[in-house]
Amino acid sequence: MNLHPNEMDLALLASGDVGRIQRFSLDRHLRNCSECSQKVEQFENLRANFVLPEPADLNWNRLASEMRANIRLGLEAGECVRRTQTSVAWSLGLAAAFAGVLVLASAGVFLRERPPAPQGSVVQTPVVQTTAAGIELRTGSTSLTLLNREGAVASQTVSAQGEVRSRSIDGETGAVTINNVYLVE
C-alpha cells in the first residue's frame, strides 16, 4: 500500500519550506510517484504565477538598521530587568515567613476534627444530574435545581470528573446562559 503525502506537505516542498529530513522523505516518494510529482509541479507553476512584486521604494539597508536597533533595545531591556534584583536577606525572610504560614495552614487542614456521622444514619451521597428543567443537585430528599430559561434551547454535557455544564440561548433576546456545576468531595 503506497501512502501519499498530504497536499500541504507537497505545497511546502514546492515552495522550499520543508526541512532536510522531510525533503529527503518527500523526494524519495516523488521518484516513484508520478501523481505526486505532477501535484508538486502544479504547485510550483501556481507559485511562479502568483509572485507578488516587491515594492520599488523598499530600502533593505534601512530595514536592517531598524531590526538591529530593535534587537539592541530588547537586549538592553533584558539587562535592566536582570539588574533590578531584591536583596537576598529580604528574599530569605519572605521565604521563611511564607513557609511558616504554609506549615500552619497545612496543619490546620490535616488536624481539624471531622464531626462524627450520626449513629444509625446513612450518609447521603450528593448526585449531580441533568433534567429537562436544568441541572439538579440532589442529596437524599433535598435538591437544588438551576433552571433553564423558558423557551431556551439548552445543551447539557456531563464529565466523569463530576462536572455538569449547561449552555442555553434565549430565543427572544439572544442571551447566552452558561451554568457549570462541579461536585467536589
Compare 69 and 185 and report the one with higher pLDDT. 69
User: d(Cα 83, Cα 78) in Å, to the nearest integer?
Assistant: 9
**pLDDT per residue over 86-130, tens digit each?**
455 567 778 888 899 999 998 888 888 777 766 766 667 777 777
Domain boundaries, the chain: 7-49, 127-182
Rg of the chain in Å (alpha carbons): 33
pLDDT confidence tier of residue 158, bands split at 50, 70 and 90: confident
Could you tell me the pTM of the whole model?
0.31
pLDDT (mean) for 165-181: 76
pLDDT (mean) for 58-83: 83
State yes or no: pLDDT of 84 exceeds 60. no
pLDDT (mean) for 161-172: 76
Cell of 160: 466523569
pLDDT confidence tier of residue 1, bands split at 50, 70 and 90: very low
Compare 30 and 156 and report the one with higher pLDDT. 30
What is the percent of the chain with per-residue pLDDT over 70, rounded to a whole number? Answer: 84
pLDDT confidence tier of residue 82, bands split at 50, 70 and 90: low
Compare 88 and 175 and report the one with higher pLDDT. 175
